[in-house]
Chains A and B, each alone.
Chain A
Amino acid sequence: GAVVSQHPSRVICKSGTSVKIECRSLDFQATTMFWYRQFPKKSLMLMATSNEGSKATYEQGVEKDKFLINHASLTLSTLTVTSAHPEDSSFYICSAAEAGRNTGELFFGEGSRLTVL
């Protein structure tokens, strides 16, 4: 099946620093990628939809200046958590839909666990 790689899987940073998380589709092209956040024992919360070559679409309540998303190629989207604070600590997951296939299936990255001290 299609593979989505997410990096880093774990990151610990100091408050005030910025952290970049990469999401790559390894064997397919993804015109659309999605970024989610998951709190412990909670479901996935869609943060934004990342469209290749255009600005991301953010969900209500998600600060676009706080969570910068770049989707510069058909295989790579990045999420940058700027000026991270302890409340940003969470599990961030990306997913991608294969361009040209309308099965509705999403392929997920392994997730990135962010801890802000």
Chain B
Amino acid sequence: RKEVEQDPGPFNVPEGATVAFNCTYSNSASQSFFWYRQDCRKEPKLLMSVYSSGNEDGRFTAQLNRASQYISLLIRDSKLSDSATYLCVVTLSGGYQKVTFGTGTKLQVIP
């Protein structure tokens, strides 16, 4: 089983739609969780951290479920500019020594 798994997609959704991605992780000792966004042929950029209590940033909502070992990202009112690959990132022990990236989920928002 992969350490961090994501549905690769692609998710093709119309503008204005709501879309959700899930990411599962295998190591119960994982401490920190993030969603990064990567545009084609570009470097990943932090979208948001994921906290146990869940957190929201505008149209984006992230949730963490430790019991089931998954994190989710919800995007409301999708924009064309949201088209990208979304990477789930998990770190061990709250530090930087072990950072694992999910395979990424590709989102294509269509007009």
Residue of B nearest to A107 (CB): B46
**A interface, by DSSP: helix, strand, loop or mixed?**
strand
On chain B, the residues within 8 Å of A108 by CB distance are 43-45
B97 at the interface (CB under 8 A from A): yes
Contact B46 A106 (CB under 8 A): yes
Contact B46 A111 (CB under 8 A): no
Q: Per-position contact with B for A15-51: 1 when CB-CB < 8 Å, else 0?
A: 0000000000000000010101000001111100100
A114 at the interface (CB under 8 A from B): no
B100 at the interface (CB under 8 A from A): yes
Select one of B43, B46, B97, B101 contacting A105, CB under 8 A.
B46
Contact B104 A105 (CB under 8 A): no
Contact A43 B101 (CB under 8 A): yes
Select one of A43, A97, A102, A111 contacting B103, CB under 8 A.
A43
Within 8 A of B (CB), among A63-111: 91, 93, 97, 102-106, 108-111
Within 8 A of A (CB), among B35-79: 41-46, 49
On chain A, the residues within 8 Å of B89 by CB distance are 106
Q: A43-B87, A44-B87, A110-B42 are in contact. Are A103 and B49 (CB under 8 A)?
A: yes
Q: A42-B103, A43-B102 are in contact. Are A102 and B43 (CB under 8 A)?
A: no
A50 to chain B, nearest CB (A): 11
Contact A102 B104 (CB under 8 A): no
Select one of A34, A36, A43, A104 contacting B49, CB under 8 A.
A104
Contact B100 A46 (CB under 8 A): yes
Question: A residues near B, CB below 8 A?
Answer: 32, 34, 36, 42-46, 49, 57, 91, 93, 97, 102-106, 108-111
12 A-B pairs (CB sep. < 8 Å): A36-B101, A44-B44, A44-B101, A45-B101, A91-B41, A93-B43, A93-B44, A105-B49, A106-B44, A106-B89, A108-B43, A111-B41
5 A-B pairs with the lowest CB-CB distances in the bound complex, closest first: A108-B43, A104-B32, A43-B103, A44-B101, A97-B96
